[in-house]
Chain A
Amino acid sequence: MRAETIERQVARAAWLFLAPALLLIGLFFFLPAAAALVLSLTDFDIYALADIGNARVVGASNYARLIDHPLFWTALKNTFYFALGCGPLTVLVALVAALLVNAPLTRSRTFFRTAYFVPFVTTLVAVAIVWRYLYHKNYGLLNYTLGAFGIEPVDWLGDPTWAMPAIILMAVWKNFGYYMLIFIAGLQAIPRELYEAAELDGASAWRRFLHVTLPQLGPSLVFVGVVVMIGYFQLFAEPYVMTQGGPLKSTTSLVLLMYEEGFRWWRMGFAAAIAFVLFVIILIWTLIQRRLEPKAA
């Protein structure tokens, strides 16, 4: 009898504890997500914004329009260029930084760890503005430094060839510190005996890295690489602040295109279709990630 009342009391308390979170997430996340699918099947535009009666269901025609929309393909290509370029590079830089910080000879480890991590906590919009100036053709620090090596000034953000690499470089700078921490944690979890055994066998530092570190870290390397790219597919603020998607649309990403279509031109039905393409890309990537996820140790 008593046990039963306690059980009921616990169940009631549980739903009360959950209520605020479930209500908020249901109303402001799941419901709009479902509505986005409906929206993408309508011709919702600026007239519908004034009076919803002006919106009509148009079936898949927004998706059909996407296929004929050259800018959509450009944005898709740019997004993949950014994610596939930036992802592996971030992982590589993060790994090298982690190995350096974690090396047995390193002193002031905490200082370097903090220094490398600082870009990650800064405000993206603010540092994107800083980098705009560092990339400036005439007075930017980057061209000045390259000039010392006899390299002609490059108009980093004004040249369609260089704008995306410039944004990639900035994003690597901004994000590598976070993944460095993950790798440091991974490195510290490798049993010391493995290194001691390798050293006894006379293995050089390079061979120890190749035959102990890499195989031990391997699974988390691939995993992090995939996770990193999910974030990079959502590229938005960097081109918004640094290039407005230009020059010649060379840095227009899917999310930037969605923002412009949806919130500048109020073609919200069309923009919702773009959002769903993003969703499908991320869904596929997440499924790949779950495949690769290292078994919980």
Chain B
Amino acid sequence: MRRAWQSVLLHVALVAGAVVALLPIVWMIAASFMPTGEATTLPPKFIPSNPTLEHYRAVFTRLDMGRYLLNSTLVALLVTGTSLVINAMAGYAFAKLRFRGRDVTFRVLTAGLMLPVQVVMLPLFLFFKQLGLINTYWGVIIPSMASIFAIFLIRQYATAIPDDLLDAARIDGASEARIFRAVVLPVIIPILATLAIWTFLTTWNDFMWPLIVLSDERRYTLPVALANLLGEHVQDVELMMAGSVLTIMPVLAVFLFLQRYYIRGIMAGSVKG
């Protein structure tokens, strides 16, 4: 009997927590389908009286957010693809290849983890200005193409590869590139999967650096475009919510479909926020 009560109380608390966690997102979705003005009436509504797609139409036509969606997708995919290859190669080299200067190089690299990225932004902006990278997609992509943190994680994971496996391949005459492709990559796939999701989500959600680098509206990523729209459309609650839904849904979908790989990585203590 006492156990039953405990169970009820526990689940009441759990459900209350889930309501608080999800309510803002549910309200955002609901408001995006409401006719203009309905999201600012009392009492607050969670079901549109007369569901409409007008704000989504406006978002894609008048506000041209399809373009930003494309920009964000392009940037996030390019960063994820390139950084995965570059970091995997580096992480493996640090873990398994013997060469002079390895430990020093790695130590210098990990010392960089203490540097907050904002310190780099001012000179990097001036540097990119010289290189003509301001206001280009590459200006957003290049600084994320290699990550000390990702290299660190891959190194940790790749250390478990048995040396005998690699040496046997070498004696068989396999080139180092071939060993990497055929022996190493299949083994480190799990950490790469976690990192791929993590990189995609972080790049998609990234705000400060794209805000600094991109000045031409046509190149904005979704978060930058959304923050910019707020200035003019802060009163248009339903419209802003449609824009927010458009920004969040792709990452939410990626997460919900692939959460198994992502959550497993975090629980194993690998990926940080």
Contacts and interface: CB of A to CB of B under 8 A. Distances in A.
| A and B interact | yes
A118 interface: yes
Interface string B210-236: 001000000000111011001000100
A121 B251 contact: yes
B218 to A, nearest CB: 19
Interface string A241-263: 10000000000000100110011
A84 interface: no
A251 B121 CA distance: 22
What is the predominant secondary structure among interface residues of chain A facing chain B? helix
A103 B208 CA distance: 39
Interface in A116-174: 116-127, 129-134, 136, 138-141, 144, 173
A198 interface: no
What is the predominant secondary structure among interface residues of chain B facing chain A? helix
B122 A36 contact: yes
A286 B28 CA distance: 37
B90 A101 contact: no
Interface string B10-38: 11011001101111110110010000000
Contact of A141 (B18, B27, B180): B27
A233 B44 CA distance: 34
B14 A30 contact: no
A184 B267 contact: yes
A87 interface: no
A64 interface: no
A268 B126 contact: yes
Given A20-B146, A32-B120, A131-B24, A181 B102 contact: no
A11 interface: yes
Interface of A: 6-7, 9-11, 13-18, 20-22, 24-25, 28-33, 35-36, 39, 49, 97, 100-101, 103, 105-107, 111-127, 129-134, 136, 138-141, 144, 173, 175, 177-178, 181-182, 184-185, 227, 231, 233-234, 236-237, 240-241, 255, 258-259, 262-263, 268, 271-272, 275-276, 278-279, 282-283, 286
Nearest first, the 5 A-B pairs at minimum CB distance are A13-B176, A35-B123, A21-B90, A14-B97, A11-B99
16 contacts: A36-B120, A106-B10, A117-B259, A124-B223, A129-B240, A130-B27, A133-B39, A141-B44, A173-B24, A182-B269, A185-B269, A231-B273, A236-B118, A237-B207, A241-B230, A275-B121
